[in-house]
Amino acid sequence: MTKVDGLSISIKNKKGTWSLVRDVSFSLERGRTLAIVGESGSGKSLITSAILGMLNHLEGLEGSVEVCGRDVLKASSRELRTLRRNLIGYIPQNPRESLTPTLKVGSQLVEVIAAKTDRKGRECRLVAESLLSSLGFSGPERILSMYPHQLSGGMCQRVAIAMAVVSRPALVVADEPTSSLDPLTKHKIMEVIKGIQAEQGFGLILVTHDLDLAFSSSDQVAVVYGGRLVETGAAEELLLRPGHPYTSDLVRCFTRSGAEKGGSYYIPGEPLSIYTSFPGCRYFNRCRQRLEICETKEPACVRRDRGRVACWLY
């Protein structure tokens, strides 16, 4: 079980303290998938970086992140290495950049297997071959003898997935794992991730701009706006009956049911800059359903169906 409770991230500069992420809470059971969606700059990567323990050095980090009962935010560097070795896997956005260009894929994968498991030498090579087979490579030995530049983006991503899941982690965090891939490869990679999840049973946090991917591949969706989870709920419920006006607008963009012009819809206006203090709801300037109170007071997060929503309409 992964439990994020009251996660807040702020930074200080000469002009003051700025809140980047505020009071993010959710839980995720093993075998389940939570998609985190939201516009660019909304705080998705900050949330996942905190979950991976990459922001533990920040003064303005509050709340708790528990993975299988271990508190990631309080972990020392040594404990973090153990957590990443055993419990938490990470699938990057651009796998080619995370592989060393001058080393063959085999030696890189074998090194990760040796570091993350108790296996040694030839055994690591056999694990690498079997893992690559289970991730859909028909000739794993050939792939292991290649350099990253000889692989396509989708192949590199499958190697990165192998590195993330080799220790059978409890949680895998994938930050935009398909955004650098073409649509066909994107679906294949998602199938590969879901296939290995079904076999190993890890919880998956999937960060994506792609609503199609979010709604089709996840059980729960968390919608982030201005550093806050403005709505969370079961994927099918949010798609059919979005509660928060921002979720409705996103779904409208996705389904094109707005169809004002040429079948497309976009959300007018821009999100407030993180360096703009605003006492009310940060969606106020773009919201079609805003009320008077929305300008002066931020709404609390309340229950709605099986999910939660932060909006004065509830």
Ligand X SMILES: Nc1ncnc2c1ncn2[C@@H]1O[C@H](COP(=O)(O)OP(=O)(O)OP(=O)(O)O)[C@@H](O)[C@H]1O
Nearer to ligand SF4, 111 or 237 (CB): 237
The three-state secondary structure class of 76 is coil
**Is residue 135 within 8 Å of 198, Cβ to Cβ?**
no
| β partners of residue 36 | 207, 222
What is the DSSP secondary structure assignment for residue 279, as one 8-state letter? S
Nearer to ligand X, 11 or 253 (CB): 11
Q: Does 45 bind Mg ion (CB under 5 A)?
A: yes
In Å, what is the CA distance from 80 to each residue of 21, 71, 203?
Answer: 22, 10, 18
Selected from 140, 245, 271, 307, the binder of ligand SF4 by CB under 6 A is 245
Nearer to ligand X, 21 or 135 (CB): 21
The region of 39-47, 194-202, 230-238, 246-254 touching ligand X under the rule CB under 6 A is 39-47
Tokens 């389904």, residue located: 255
**How far is it, in rounded angstroms, from Cα 226 to Cα 281?**
9
The region of 44-52, 124-132, 190-198, 215-223 touching Mg ion under the rule CB under 5 A is 44-52
Nearer to ligand SF4, 142 or 297 (CB): 297
**How far is it, in rounded angstroms, from Cα 8 to Cα 62?**
5
Signed CA dihedral, 53, 74, 218, 304: sign only: negative
**How far is it, in rounded angstroms, from Cα 40 to Cα 38?**
7
Selected from 42, 108, 232, 247, the binder of ligand X by CB under 6 A is 42
Q: Does 44 bind ligand X (CB under 6 A)?
A: yes
Q: Does 277 bind ligand X (CB under 6 A)?
A: no
Site string for ligand SF4, 281-310 (x = CB under 6 A): x-xx--x-xxx--x----x-----------
**How far is it, in rounded angstroms, from Cα 24 to Cα 62?**
10
Nearer to Mg ion, 110 or 211 (CB): 211
In Å, what is the CA distance from 224 to each residue of 20, 56, 100, 241?
Answer: 12, 21, 33, 17
Selected from 23, 27, 32, 41, the binder of ligand X by CB under 6 A is 41
Question: Applying CB under 6 A, which residues contact ligand SF4?
Answer: 244-245, 281, 283-284, 287, 289-291, 294, 299, 311-313
Question: Applying CB under 5 A, which residues contact Mg ion?
Answer: 45
Question: Applying CB under 6 A, which residues contact ligand X?
Answer: 11, 20, 38, 40-46, 209, 274
